[in-house]
Amino acid sequence: MGHPCAVRGRRRRSYLISATAEGGECIKRCAGVSTGHRALINTANKRKRKRDVPELFDEMVWEILIRLPVNSLVRFRSVSKAWRAIISDPSFVRAHLHFCRQSQHQNPTSFLITPYMFLQRRGPATSKAISTDIRFYKWHLEEDTRNTATLVYRRHFPAGEFGRLSEMAHCDGLVLLPTNTKAYVFNPGTRDVIVLPESTCNALPLHRTCLPTGLGFDATTGRYKVARAFYRPSYDDPMYMAAMGMEVFTIGGEDGAWRETLEDPPYLMLSGQTAAHCKGCLFFFIDKKNYQSPPQGLIRFSLQDETFGVTPLLPYVLPQVEDKDVVLSELHGELCASFFSKPLQRLLIWTTEDVLDDPPWICRYMIDVPDHQYHPMASHGSGGILFQGGNCLLRYDLEAQDIREEDGIHEMDRLTYVGLNRRDKLGRTWKNLRFFNLISYTESLVPLTAKRQGLQALQ
């Protein structure tokens, strides 16, 4: 019984092992085809992986870089040509700005502090010379850093280059500094600044005052613009300023010069003011002393078509409240007008979504504050509003209807100002302070110059 089993086993092994010459060649060819097919598949997979890895790597690098602060990105430009190309690409600049803007909107904790200093302590303010040393300090409201402001950029201009300063304006990381001679646009994050030329159209005696100026974004062209009004003389009396014109400077434009708009402002603007920017328009107060029945409104300048209009300003409240007591700003993406009501002893905050000819103003908040010096800066992500008043920043809790007891008041003159040498001299010269700008700051990589542009740039 064992023998037949052994025979069958040998035959099975013989059948599996032995083959004719033709059959063997066929098996070899099949094996070769199979092996070659696997090799082709492996090669294709490797090529696919080689194609996918750089694409995946670029996406990962993009997602990582977009979350980094500007000072890190500026350093990373020198890592490689590929990284420099990514960071300098306009689409990356826009995406990074969008990320920073959303973060600051949801939780406004980043601020720029810029002190304006007198060169000497004693003497009347009108006779004191202004320091031309412009410094930007970055300050965060986070618990571990809120007692320290760090110098991010400093530019010392020649003494006497300007003698008067207006309040700064901020738009997407760019900061405008108007003076009585020139205007300057900074990007403190990238440590860049451009000097805009003096006005050649202005008929007002030079250096007397700062011209009405504003900074904003033109969504139709994707460019940032500086608009500056200037005075036109009367034909009968050259010393009488009868009208105003407007000139526009396009940041990153090819010409690098001011150009006059085709349309003039409908009214004289209040001199020395910095315009509020909201929804692609700049808003200026009217110089009402030159008119018997001036409109209760704001001069509106569109950065898109560069035309003018008048936006009514609180028609049911004014003129009981004078324009000088109203502070314009942007809050929640809406045009905001706030003023202190003496009869109510409260700060009234009005906003409007529509900035055109007949906007419905809505009183959003009525807030108890110590005096009239307070105005809103931003809505806080934790259900409050940030106010600036004097040398202080206050956090107002909307639910409790009061200033937060803990970390609710921040005094600018008690911060530690850290400079390049770890400790700045600002604390010892604070008594020379004229005033300071406190800006809710969104940093960005937005460039100030275009390639092959003959624009005066400071490195």
Q: How far apart, in whole angstroms, are the C-alpha atoms of residue 437 and residue 136?
A: 10
- pLDDT tens-place values along the chain, 459 residues long: 444 444 344 343 333 333 344 444 443 444 444 454 444 445 555 554 444 545 556 778 888 899 999 999 999 988 888 888 889 999 999 999 999 999 888 878 889 999 887 776 655 555 567 889 999 999 988 767 788 889 999 999 998 898 889 999 999 999 999 998 899 999 999 999 999 988 788 777 656 789 999 999 999 999 999 999 998 876 665 556 678 999 999 998 877 889 999 999 999 999 899 999 999 999 999 998 888 888 889 999 999 999 999 999 987 776 677 788 899 999 888 999 998 877 777 888 999 998 887 888 999 888 877 665 778 887 765 577 888 877 788 888 877 777 765 667 888 878 888 886 666 656 556 666 777 888 999 999 999 986 533 334 443
Q: Please name the residues in contact with 334: beta carbons below 8 A apart, sequence gap of 6 or more.
A: 278, 351, 352, 353
For the record, the structure tokens of 399 come out as 């639910």
Comparing C-alpha atoms, which of 167, 65, 71 is closest to residue 388? 167
Q: Which three-class secondary structure state does DSSP give residue 116?
A: strand
Residue 138, pLDDT score: 92
| Amino acid type, 23 | G
For the record, the structure tokens of 19 come out as 């083959």
Q: Which three-class secondary structure state does DSSP give residue 403?
A: strand
Phi, psi of 33 (to 5 degrees): -60, -45
Q: 262: which DSSP letter?
A: S
Q: Please name the residues in contact with 304: beta carbons below 8 A apart, sequence gap of 6 or more.
A: 218, 219, 220, 280
- Residue whose token pair is 């300098």: 88
Q: How far apart, in whole angstroms, are the C-alpha atoms of residue 112 and residue 135?
A: 10
Residue 154: count other Cβ atoms within 10 Å of its Cβ: 15
| Amino acid type, 293 | S
What burial class does residue 349 get, using C-beta atoms within 10 Å of its C-beta: 0-12 exposed, 13-18 middle, 19+ buried?
buried
* CATH number of the 107-458 domain: 2.120.10.80
Comparing C-alpha atoms, which of 443, 416, 412 is closest to residue 151? 416
Residue 40, pLDDT score: 42
| Rounded (10°) angle between helices 81-88 and 90-106 | 60
Compute the 3-state secondary structure of the chain and give helix, strand, coil in percent, each to the nearest 5: 25, 35, 40
Q: How far apart, in whole angstroms, are the C-alpha atoms of residue 290 and residue 328?
A: 22
Q: Cβ distance 326 to 362 under 8 Å?
A: no
